[in-house]
Amino acid sequence: MSQSTNNVTFKAPSKFNTFKEITAPLDWLSTLGSLPQLLTLPKGDGRPIILVPGYMADDYSMAPLKGFLRQMNYDCYNWELGRNHGDVDQDIVRLGARTLKLFEEIGQTPITLIGWSLGGVLTREVARLFPECVREVITMGTPISGGPKYTAVGKRYAKRKNLDLDSFELHVLERNQLGFKQPVTSIYSKSDGVVGWQASIDIYNSHARNIEVKSTHMGLGINPKVWEIIAMTLASDE
């Protein structure tokens, strides 16, 4: 099923793209080969960053990106909330508390939030709720529109959480219409086999940057172009 909003048609990823997710390890091989060049990108200013994993992932999934950003002179932190089981309302509160606590511990320095997939949903909500604590948001393959509806796991997720996908889509739309003022970058791929790429485009914030890459969904966090975009985005905001 597809849905149109603001002249954008949302739909779940194709089965072909979902099948191609098995090629995700190739992104890591590409990154390893590109690492010497990536490390020549502009170094950071030491700002704090919290990395938020996607659905059913944990801090280990963010470890390669964390290692790279530390090499680029950023002060990176895990979300430290275990595996992301998709308990969105609860995790927004928990990530908000984690962000607020770190904000206070480091001298009230605003924090950049980087979220992969569902992790990006959480970062956007925390940015809305705690604008004084969040400096910037960067998402990778995040279902910004529709919640789980336009994802390959939408029906299974809805059954597990006892959700009506159409009703939840309206709830997500209401939240998105609130907007937020911090800089926001959404990285998406038309080859994404988990989240429909149209749903990963931020059409709600006029200042949002939507940047396309070539990657599987599972490879976004280990893709050299994604790392380059993140590094350059952070450097341009110094």
DSSP for 2-32, please give it: EEEETTEEEEPPPHHHHHGGGGTHHHHHHHH
Mean local confidence (pLDDT), 231-238: 89
Q: How far is CA 38 from CA 15, 186, 213, in A?
A: 33, 20, 16
The domains located in the chain, with CATH, are 49-54+89-238 (3.40.50.1820)
Mean local confidence (pLDDT), 57-66: 97
Please report which confidence band the pLDDT of residue 61 belongs to, taking 50, 70 and 90 as the band edges. Answer: very high
Whether residue 73 is predicted with pLDDT greater than 50 in this model: the reply is yes
Whether residue 5 is predicted with pLDDT greater than 70 in this model: the reply is no
82 Rama class: left (phi>0) / alpha (psi -120 to 50) / beta: left
Q: Say how far apart CA 209 and CA 138 lie, in whole Å.
A: 9
- pLDDT tens per residue, range 109-124: 999 999 999 999 999 9
pLDDT of residue 8: 75
What is the helix (H) or strand (E) element at residue 201, kind and residue range?
none
Q: Say how far apart CA 159 and CA 164 lie, in whole Å.
A: 9
pTM summary value = 0.94
pLDDT of residue 166: 96
- On whether the CB atoms of residues 71 and 135 are closer than 8 A, the answer is no
Name the residue type at position 129.
L
- pLDDT tens per residue, range 165-213: 999 999 999 999 999 999 999 999 999 999 999 999 999 999 999 999 9
Q: What mean pLDDT is reported for the chain?
A: 95
Whether residue 97 is predicted with pLDDT greater than 60 in this model: the reply is yes
Q: Which of 127, 158, 144 is closest to 197 using CA atoms?
A: 144
